[in-house]
Amino acid sequence: MSVQFERVALIGIGLIGSSLAHVMRREKIATHITGYARSEETRKTAVQLGLVDSIHSTAASAVKDADLVILCVPVGACAAIAMEIGGALKPGCIVTDVGSVKAAVVRDVAPHLPAGVHFVPGHPIAGTEQSGPASGFADLFLKRWCILTPLPGGDASAVTRLEKFWHSCGSEVELMTPEHHDLVLAITSHLPHLIAYNTVATAADLEEVTDSEVIKYSAGGFRDFTRIAASDPTMWRDVFLNNREAVLEMLGRFSEDLSALQRAIRWGDGEALFNLFTRAREVRRNIIAAGQETAAPDFGRDPKHR
Ligand code: NAP
């Protein structure tokens, strides 16, 4: 793979930033990677792991002379970062992000970027419940989708260059509007996280069942919820604060469907339950057929750790 960008700036070096550093190194996508992290500890780890060629304690100094700037911070931090870097960006450079919400990032970032800088928002649909600079790995984006939400009237060649970048990281790329992205992700990602957080919180608050029983007898279903609920609290707080409308819309539908299930259980309507469970099973089969999940029992986990 040939060099695509001379200088790439990673603003934020957590799971996503460090994974991008690993894959850029492996695929030789950039000649020089600069990094910004707000904490001394993350800056030290990034250097120790060889993730960056130069490390900066301000975002403005990290983006100097960069051809590609990737914001890898929680969605709620993007406005302040954009305000800080706006005046330091090289004319003609591409600015993108990896935030899990798109319309709010466009609202918060675009006004701070000068004319002549190309802003192409993005979101790799790839992640784990781990966070921090040591959690990244080069294959995180392999065979995953990356959604780009180009702005109307934006530079088409910047979008093409970014598509190529994500293809080199192993991803497939889809373009859509920020609003459509937020609606789709509200049901496929944001709502499941909310349900997981709530399920785990409900279990933790039970008075007749002790905490140790919840842990000792945790069945596969509950353990999967705890895995999702172990995700970074800052990142997820920002997702719900910034995708409020779409999440509330999906939550409304979800609550109605849950009431229907509740009624089916109360009235012993086995047929309704069976039909719904059969439809749900079909969705999982389709996800596996699309190569987005493994068909191995218990998600391919080592039997020793089931
Ligand atoms: P992470 O591992 O927690 O890393 C976050 C990074 O942002 C760290 O370098 C952290 O700095 C920095 N940061 C946090 N708050 C900041 C602030 N207020 N100002 C400046 N820097 C700040 O998070 P991540 O999982 O990489 O997520 C980064 C972005 O990717 C988020 O927008 C998230 O929505 C998106 N995303 C995440 C996933 C996922 O599954 N995790 C998937 C797709 C997209 P310190 O280390 O110095 O504290």
Let me know if residue 115 belongs to a domain. Answer: yes
Q: How many whole angstroms from 231 Cα to the centroid of ligand 1?
A: 11
Q: What is the mean pLDDT of the chain?
A: 94
Total structural domains within the chain: 2
Residue 2 has a pLDDT of: 77
Q: How many whole angstroms from 290 Cα to the centroid of ligand 1?
A: 28
State the pLDDT confidence band at 74, using cuts at 50, 70 and 90.
Answer: very high
Q: Is pLDDT of 306 > 50?
A: no
Among 25-34, 81-90, 203-212, name the one with the lowest average pLDDT. 203-212
**Pocket residues: Cβ below 6 A from ligand 1:** 12-17, 37-39, 42, 72-75, 77, 98-100, 123-124, 127, 131-132, 232, 234-235
Which of 176, 196, 214 is where one domain is finished?
176
Per DSSP (E only), the strands in 98-254 are 118-119, 122-124, 145-148, 172-175
pLDDT in tens, 128-160: 989 999 999 999 999 999 999 999 999 999 999
Q: At what angle do helices 233-242 and 244-266 cross, to 10 degrees?
A: 100
Report the relative pairing of strands 94-97 and 68-71 from DSSP bridges.
parallel
Q: What percent of the chain has pLDDT over 90?
A: 84
> pTM (2 decimals)?
0.94
Residues 188, 158 share a domain: no
Question: To test ligand 1's pocket by mutation, which of 16, 36, 39, 69 has the most ligand atoms within 8 angstroms of CB?
Answer: 16
What average pLDDT score do residues 284-288 get?
89
Task: Give the whole-angstrom CA distance, residue 156 versus residue 138.
Answer: 28
CATH number of the domain within which 166 lies: 3.40.50.720
pLDDT in tens, 6-36: 999 999 999 999 999 999 999 999 999 999 9
Domain hosting residue 246, numbered range? 180-268
Beta pairing partners, 174: 147
Let me know if residue 292 belongs to a domain. Answer: no
Which of 152, 176, 200 is where one domain is finished?
176
Task: Give the whole-angstrom CA distance, residue 178 versus residue 150.
Answer: 8
